Amino acid sequence: GLKEIRIGVIGYGIRSNVLIGAFGAFEQIALAAVADPSAKARDKAARDHPGAALFEDFRQMLDSGGVDAVLIESPPNTHAECAIEALSRGVHVLCDVPAVHEIDEAQRLWDAGTRSKAIYSFGATTNFWGYVDTCVALKDKGLLGKPFYCEAEYVADLGDLPTVTPWRKHYEPIRYCTHSLGPILKWVDEDLREVSCFDTGSHVHGDPDDHDAMVAIYRTQSRVVVKLLISFCNSHPAPFHRYVYHGTKGYFEKTHSLAGGETQVLFSTKEIYGMDGLTRLPVTESRPELSDVPGVGEHGGADYAMLKDFTDAIAGIKAPAVGMREALRMTLPGLYALKSAQMGGSVVRIAYPWDNG
Ligand SMILES: NC(=O)c1ccc[n+]([C@@H]2O[C@H](COP(=O)([O-])OP(=O)(O)OC[C@H]3O[C@@H](n4cnc5c(N)ncnc54)[C@H](O)[C@@H]3O)[C@@H](O)[C@H]2O)c1
């Protein structure tokens, strides 16, 4: 059989419960331990998973020698530290988004990754969505041409969620850019280099520390422009991710939600006779080929695909689909955008740990 992977979960909240739900599809994954500083969360973990060892501090869990890999599902401002500590002990990491919370954590994470033999895999859920691969394939076949302008929008009114999960309260939405930039950066092969960003402040609740929406405009070295809108406090009735690709030969769009919450995937190309009008493609975020797999989890099979990718990487079958470089490519632009917004929208240059060699 397959070699067992003893997983320690860091942070036992909403998201870790979703992903643990998908563990069942993998015979080699064993939930070995849970670390969470909240006694309430540990009590729930003890009830849900009586066999798992419980720890207040994730470092005790790492030092226990009882875990081969960690799933990092604690709040974003803890991700870099948890990943660095795990990597430095040779423990594999599947880290949820975003990769870092502050710009200066990036270099330390990068160095820890370079020194470690362990796998670092990034929980970039949306990178695994069906239509994201469709767009990659259309581009690879030359039907879209080179992208020159792309857009991503993540609009979801979180309602009471910032009260239930306190890290979301006053969290600047542009920090949460990976679900938007992940797919865009699969289509645009260059790093984002410059950014200007504006913040609406709080019109909805009138809370001076709140942010209804933030908009960032990026540019790459070869002058591809990317516009990003993120809003977690708004009056839109149905949450959505929207993605737009304007290429030299064609156009691709995953729309916002229409009446009933439905979204559409649209495509046109100048390269095929009769396809220069917008055509709706029969593809969504989900992966029909996974529909028979038990417990594939949420996000249309993306969670399953992500865990499969992680277990394959640990088994040495392949490199992780979204490793540390990709993780930082899609995380750092949000943090530099925040810096720009704090400077009234001034253009800020984006630096990456790999810039100097
Ligand atoms: N990829 C996705 O689609 C997706 C979706 C939702 C959330 N997330 C990510 O999941 C993470 C958790 O979000 P959530 O909604 O589950 O939040 P949550 O508040 O429900 O859970 C976080 C848990 O982490 C615990 N925690 C806090 N500090 C900790 C520490 N130092 N060590 C260990 N545990 C600690 C908290 O006590 C809590 O139980 C976030 O980073 C978020 O970005 C990703």
- The widest CA-to-CA distance across the chain, in whole angstroms, is 63
Question: Could you identify the residue written with the tokens 């099979």?
Answer: 301
Beta-bridged to residue 123, according to DSSP, are: 96
Distance 308 CA to ligand 1 centre (A): 21
Distance 330 CA to ligand 1 centre (A): 19
Pull the structure tokens for residue 152: 């991503």
Is 165's C-beta closer than 6 angstroms to any atom of ligand 1?
yes
Is 13's C-beta closer than 6 angstroms to any atom of ligand 1?
yes
Pull the structure tokens for residue 221: 């070295």
Residue 42 has what pLDDT?
98
DSSP 163: H
Residue 40 has what pLDDT?
98
What is the DSSP track for 173-242? GGG--HHHHHHHHHHS-SPEEEEEEEE---SSS--TT--SEEEEEEEETT--EEEEEEESSS--SS-EEE
Ligand 1 atom nearest to CA at 167: 19
Residue 1 has what pLDDT?
66
Residue 357 has what pLDDT?
73
Residue whose CA lies nearest to ligand 1 atom number 7: 15
The domains found in the chain, sorted by start residue, are: 5-126+294-323 (3.40.50.720), 127-285+332-349 (3.30.360.10)
Q: Which residues contact 28 (CB under 8 A, 6 or more apart)?
A: 1, 2, 3, 4, 5, 311
Is 35's C-beta closer than 6 angstroms to any atom of ligand 1?
yes
**What does pLDDT average to in each consecutive run of 10 residues of the chain (357 residues)?**
92 96 92 98 98 98 98 98 98 98 98 98 96 98 98 96 95 98 98 98 96 98 98 95 98 93 95 96 90 68 93 97 98 99 98 92
Is 58's C-beta closer than 6 angstroms to any atom of ligand 1?
yes
Residue 260 has what pLDDT?
85
Distance 11 CA to ligand 1 centre (A): 6
